[in-house]
Structure 1
Amino acid sequence: MGRAPETTSKGLGSAAGIPGGGRLPETAAVLAVRRAVRDWLTRYGRSGSERRAVAVGLSGGADSLALTAAAVAEAPAVDALVIDHRLQPGSDVVAAEATTRALALGCRSARVLEVEVGAAGGLEAAARRARYSALDAARDGLPVLLGHTLDDQAETVLLGLARGSGGRSIQGMAAYTEPWGRPLLGVRRETTRQLCADLGMSPHDDPHNVTPDFTRVRLRLEALPLLEQILGGGVAPALARTAEQLREDGAVLDALAAELLHSASDGRTLVIETLATAPAALRKRAIRAWLLANGGKALTAKHLRAVDDLVIAWRGQGGVAIGGGSQGTRLVAGREHGRLTLRLE
């Protein structure tokens, strides 16, 4: 991963490029985005009684530009982190323009982070991994705000529904999963574009966002508009509400599952009898938490069902290999003497 030199706002002035001599106009779009960021900072962005500085992942698109503008107005300091995936000709120019805009909006600093995008798991997944890794390495201990909107949340819920991995997969994105903050999950994409128009900014439109090769793009351009037409509108907000309700329910179930895990734990193993008599929703959550805590990685619904069968449907079957371990070894869950065990093979 390469990194361009850091640029600061010294000498530019925080008022540069902002209408009204440095004050954001009080349009409906500006107020909506500022309110969302202010609410997020009030809930998550404090150190003691003071609001913290934040970093913002800035692509130059409408969502992240709107988020940056509002964050500058609401947070004590903002550092812009601009990812250059280097997947398209001229991406360096787009990144440079994004840093210039960030400083014009009043960011304390702006940096371009060049990343190498691999091929594992497809282009979308590989770019996401590279992006998050670079942001995490560059954030200097600050929470990183991301420009995901209500529309992105709706797309995420539909993708999770298609995977069929249970309630957790359709809980969508959380407003805060350290260090990632998403203040705009209640804001529509049209609002962020309007904010940019109100500030006289022309956001960058990534060609990948309209390329039908990507599943999320087809959901955005084909599936969701069709659902809106068939169901008479309101689909995206309804999906976002569903995700929020499921996250609330999931938090309660996770807390109860943690109690079950504590009761069933016998050091590194779990007592089968304690697990088998628990409700399925709690048992599976407890097993999942146990696997993750002991080195499990990239767990799928298939993995979890197979391990759960060792508890409730055991017919002498052998162990279940799951993601984890190290090079040349694999992590295997098994059943021995009334205990659920993990071993490296």
Structure 2
Amino acid sequence: RCRASCRLAAVEENAMASQYNLQGVKGKEPAHPKEASPAHDQGNLEEMVNRLVADVATHEEALGFAAETFEGFKEKMKLMREQMVESVAMNRSLSDLVKILQDEVAGLRASNQRLLRTNSASSSQERTSRVDVQRPAKYSVSRDARAIDNFLFQVDYYLDLQNIVEDLKIKTVAMLLEGNAVAWWRRKMLDIENGDCTITTFDDFRKQLKGYFMPVDAERHAYRLVANLKQTGALRDYIWAYQKVMLDVPMMPEKYKLHWFIIGLQSWAQTDVERSNPETLEQAYVAAERLADTQRKSYTDTFKAVKKSDHGGKRDDRRDHNKNESVFQKPTERKTFFRKDYTGPPG
């Protein structure tokens, strides 16, 4: 209302100034405000007051609408804050739930591993009833390198076929010891309890067993056997003997294995094997086996021919044929490649 009164006074002043300026422009006497009639002035004032009242009402209505809108915005913002707080709380609860679920999954995995071990132990017993797996021969105190390697090789296969878990492998192998080997294992168990050594896997057991019972000069002895091995009889017997010796020298280079095999052959067999130009020991084995088969077939055919000649009365021809055959098979003198007292690998 104060604003409306000020505006009404300003309008009255502007109206009086305009009337004075209009009279001065027409060339009349200096403008002097004429006294308006009270009725006319009252009508103008009432009209202006009505307009101002209408404007004030309009502004008040607009202000009321703006206030209502602002209140609505405040309510919405409050609601959004509450929703945000709820979302943060829900996010935290979900994070806690995820952590709980992860812990439960880890526990289930551990339980599953235990069940698998139990199932494996029980299934090994069922598998024994289905598949008859012979237990390896027990090991006592033999310090022969080949006997130790054969025992560990058979035990490794036995554990795999029985599907025995890692935790039970050492106990199973311990049951395959006898004699002084059992005493050795009891001493090892005391060392484990005292913390002097650690044996948790079958590989650890293998290293401990070989380290105690394996001869110190086992490798040197194996190389000596390789150097002294010569073909003195049938070719196939020499091949089998050489293959057994090779099991004792697994770290020997391939080219040395090949050279020693060919050097140990008799001269006639050595010439035939070298003619095939083998590059590996396996290729040399194949060439020697073929030669042995050819030699046997030739001997069989010759025996049949001699038998037929006996029925035909040609005994002299048979003597000549046998004489020629013995001359053909007689080994020639070979060079000595190495000393008889050789005790080490080739250089």
| Same topology, TM > 0.5 | no
- Structure 1 or 2: more helix by fraction: 2
TM-score between both structures, scaled by the size of structure 2: 0.23
- Structure 1 or 2: more strand by fraction: 1
**Highest RCO, 1 vs 2 (Cα 8 Å, sep ≥ 6):** 1
TM-score between both structures, scaled by the size of structure 1: 0.23
**Which structure would you say has the larger Rg?**
2
